[in-house]
Chain A
Amino acid sequence: NAGVTQTPKFQVLKTGQSMTLQCAQDMNHNSMYWYRQDPGMGLRLIYYSASEGTTDKGEVPNGYNVSRLNKREFSLRLESAAPSQTSVYFCASRHRNGTRTYEQYFGPGTRLTVT
């Protein structure tokens, strides 16, 4: 069981370049999430997918798009990277069954620098 995997681990982009961060989970979880963490701060939710086929905005969605490709995979795209998007990006997943709230499992993160 690999849990939640993210690729790449590190990335440097120039302003205006685009890229896609990949996330996959092998726990058969329904819900998946993308967070960003700036230095010295807590995580902030960018987008989430409560179930396959749905996506919703979180606290800080501007400048990002997401795709829930299938139940396993949830990607985050930066169309035109800006220095303000320099951050560590974490993907997470969670089982969902009715109304109960289950814990989230996080990936190791992608460290992105935009110059």
Chain B
Amino acid sequence: DAKTTQPNSMESNEEEPVHLPCNHSTISGTDYIHWYRQLPSQGPEYVIHGLTSNVNNRMASLAIAEDRKSSTLILHRATLRDAAVYYCILIKYYNQGGKLIFGQGTELSVKP
């Protein structure tokens, strides 16, 4: 399985944009890029996913490099509630089991 690399931690100020990077240099053509986040003392929650094109939803945007070897999760205006651990996970399109393999993730802290 292809691996992802994320910074251990990042800091942001409230109401400013946050760009969370993820490197996945060994990604294959059938790997989807998924992002989950885990708020303190809660289970993870799905944020967004994409394959090749940039994606937007109500929570965030996902920017995928043209060669797909890296991606960036963008929170347009960070709030205190966005303080969480963010996980970048590769999942094969034909993953019948749907198994998620979590790395260490990036711990995002948001300052008022």
Residues of chain A whose beta carbon lies under 8 Å from any beta carbon of chain B? 4, 31, 33, 35, 41-45, 48, 50, 56, 58-59, 90, 92, 94, 96, 99-109
Contacts of A104 in B (CB 8 A): 36, 44, 46, 98, 100
9 extra A-B contacts, CB within 8 A, seeds A33-B100, A59-B101: A31-B98, A42-B103, A50-B98, A92-B44, A100-B93, A101-B92, A101-B98, A104-B100, A109-B42
Partner of B97, one of A56, A90, A102, A106: A56
Could you tell me the distance between the alpha carbons of A90 and B43 in the complex, rounded to whole angstroms? 7
Q: A42-B87, A101-B32, A101-B91 are in contact. Are A90 and B44 (CB under 8 A)?
A: yes
Contacts of A48 in B (CB 8 A): 97-99
Interface flags, B89-109, vs A, CB<8A=1, else 0: 001111111111111110000
Contacts of B68 in A (CB 8 A): none
Contacts of A109 in B (CB 8 A): 41-43
By size class, the interface of chain B is 20 to 34
Cβ of A33 to closest chain B Cβ, rounded Å: 7
Q: Which residue of A lies closest to B48 (CB)?
A: A103
Task: Let me know if A106 and B101 touch, CB within 8 A.
Answer: no
Task: Let me know if A102 and B98 touch, CB within 8 A.
Answer: yes
Q: A90-B43, A109-B42 are in contact. Are A96 and B94 (CB under 8 A)?
A: no
Cβ of B2 to closest chain A Cβ, rounded Å: 15
Could you tell me the distance between the alpha carbons of A108 and B34 in the complex, rounded to whole angstroms? 20
